[in-house]
Amino acid sequence: MSELPGCPTDLPYCPPDLPRPATDPAGLRAATLAVRGGQYRSAFQETSEALYLTQGFVYDHAAEAEAAFAEDIERYTYSRYTNPTVTTFEERLALIEGAEDCYATATGMSAVFTAIAALVRSGSRIVSARELFGSTLVVLDDVLARWGVRTDYVTGTDLDQWAAALATPADVVFLESPSNPMQDVLDVPAIARLAHAAGAVVILDNVFATPVLQKPLELGADVVVYSATKHIDGQGRVMGGAVLGTREYVRGPLQSLMRTTGPTLAPFNAWVLAKGLETMPLRVRAQNAAALELAAWLEDRPGVASVRYPFLASHPQHDLARAQMSGGGTIVTFTLDGAASSSADVAARADVDRTFAFLDALRVIDISNNLGDAKSMVTHPATTTHRRVAPATRDALGIAPTTVRLSVGLEDVEDLREDLDGALQVFRATHARARQSVAP
Ligand SMILES: *Cc1c(COP(=O)(O)O)cnc(C)c1O
């Protein structure tokens, strides 16, 4: 909306000028753009971004409505199409990401779905990493499969599997890096090269890394999707999502699907998310620093079998993580000592119960399935986010009955450490009692 035409001479009236950006973004850095990008002050010269809580817009002349519908002039017509507050959020995020354009969506899942759906038709082929957010698996396997779109899965960290799958033409390649919850780090430049040679558009779900710690477009991805519900809000208030990519894609097939099917971001939510972006770089860096500290500390704790965190030397793709990301992220995944050798083992339920004793003993950290929040949260993936995943697949992904996903918030890191320490003591006592009771 910043490149508005002047008054077209062949119109019988002059459309009103739309405001110009309050700050010219040229040459400014991400933290500055997070605070100032995409703001359009109204005639009232307000300091904070205005909230345009309106469904529609009015026209001074009938001919102006005609020109707007004919797309002879660019202006706001209806908030299913777009709204000034939504524009602020979209422009701000696009500037931070370094993307040509952005389309805001009602949720992260509507971003995932529309980003893919805009690129496929019956007979299309998707190649995807197996390590995916649960609802994304359902979109691929149930929704798109019913419409004749086939998905072939590969183990995301295995480049040979990518090469074999992409020896055949494909329309879309989909991946998350780091993945949820086991934090596999995928070789984005190598996968993008294989994908492009196969004719595919690369879509990367960058929720775990955030716009602050990883720039997928620079690594070779074509499209980036976010659940803005996570770190972009970061304070547990509203749902939202975003799709970023070239202007040709965003304002072409994506916009036409979005405008007619309507998973639009509400102006109020856009306002909350635009304000969330102001503090996102600060919040993510602080949460990232605390997560690294807690991950390193957890590694030596009795009762903790293993820790998965991209910036720990023990991470299987540690060098790749250092090359692709400027921080390991705000989430630490760890697996407590357990007795079961697989999720199908008879001992698995007892392992789950002992892990529940750990979760229940936390007094600061909340049990929740969300992540990226200012409040620290723990999730038990095997019984919540990944409960629908078959036990054998959970084993293959490395999700044990004792695996815990910790989203590190903004509390004092010493309080979090003490909280985890206390809960680990409870876990060890429960674990020792269980072992005694089965001893001969
Ligand atoms: C949460 C999440 C989503 C879905 O976002 P919603 O806002 O809940 O719709 C997609 N991908 C990943 C990796 C997520 O963590």
Which residue ranges make up each domain of the chain? 79-276, 280-438
Hey, whose CA ends up nearest to atom 8 of ligand 1? 108
Q: Which residue puts its alpha carbon closest to atom 1 of ligand 1?
A: 227
Mean pLDDT for the stretch of residues 312-339: 98
* Peptide bond just before 181 cis, omega within 30 deg: yes
DSSP string over 188-233? HHHHHHHHHHTTPEEEEE-TTTHHHH--HHHHT-SEEEEETTTTTT
For a pocket test of ligand 1, which of 105, 107, 109 has the largest count of ligand atoms closer than 8 A to its C-beta?
Answer: 109
Cβ–Cβ < 8 Å for 144, 203:
no
Whether ligand 1 lies within 6 angstroms of the CB of 124 is answered as: no
Q: State whether the beta carbon of 241 lies less than 6 angstroms from ligand 1.
A: yes
Mean pLDDT for all residues in the chain: 94
Q: Specify the ligand 1 atom closest to the Cα of 207.
A: 13
Residue nearest to atom 2 of ligand 1 (CA): 227
CATH class assigned to 280-438: alpha beta
Q: Give the residue from 427, 386, 378 showing the smallest Cα distance to 405.
A: 378
Ligand 1 atom closest to 229 (CA): 7
What confidence score (pLDDT) does residue 14 get?
75
Whether residue 2 has pLDDT greater than 80? no
Q: Whose CA is nearest to atom 15 of ligand 1?
A: 207
DSSP calls for 252-300: IIIHHHHHHH--BPPHHHHHHHHHHHHHHHHHHHHHHHHHHHHHHHHHT
User: Mind listing the pLDDT tens digit for each residue in 196-229?
Assistant: 999 999 999 999 999 999 999 999 999 999 999 9
Residue 133 Cβ < 6 Å to ligand 1? yes
* pLDDT in the model for residue 3: 45
Beta bridge partners of 126: 151, 172
Note the pTM of the prediction, 2 decimals.
0.94
What's the confidence (pLDDT) of residue 17?
A: 75
Ligand 1 contact via 227 beta carbon (within 6 Å): yes
Residue 205 CB less than 6 A away from ligand 1: yes
In short, whether 207's Cβ falls inside 6 Å of ligand 1 is yes
Sheet strands side by side (includes 201-205): 101-105, 241-245, 223-227, 201-205, 172-176, 125-129, 150-154
Question: Is the pLDDT score of 145 beyond 90?
Answer: yes
Give the bridge partners for 106, in sequence order.
none
Q: State mean pLDDT over 290-295.
A: 98
Tell me which of 72 and 273 has the higher pLDDT: 273
CATH class of the structural domain 79-276:
alpha beta
Distance (Å, whole) CA 318 – CA 424 = 26
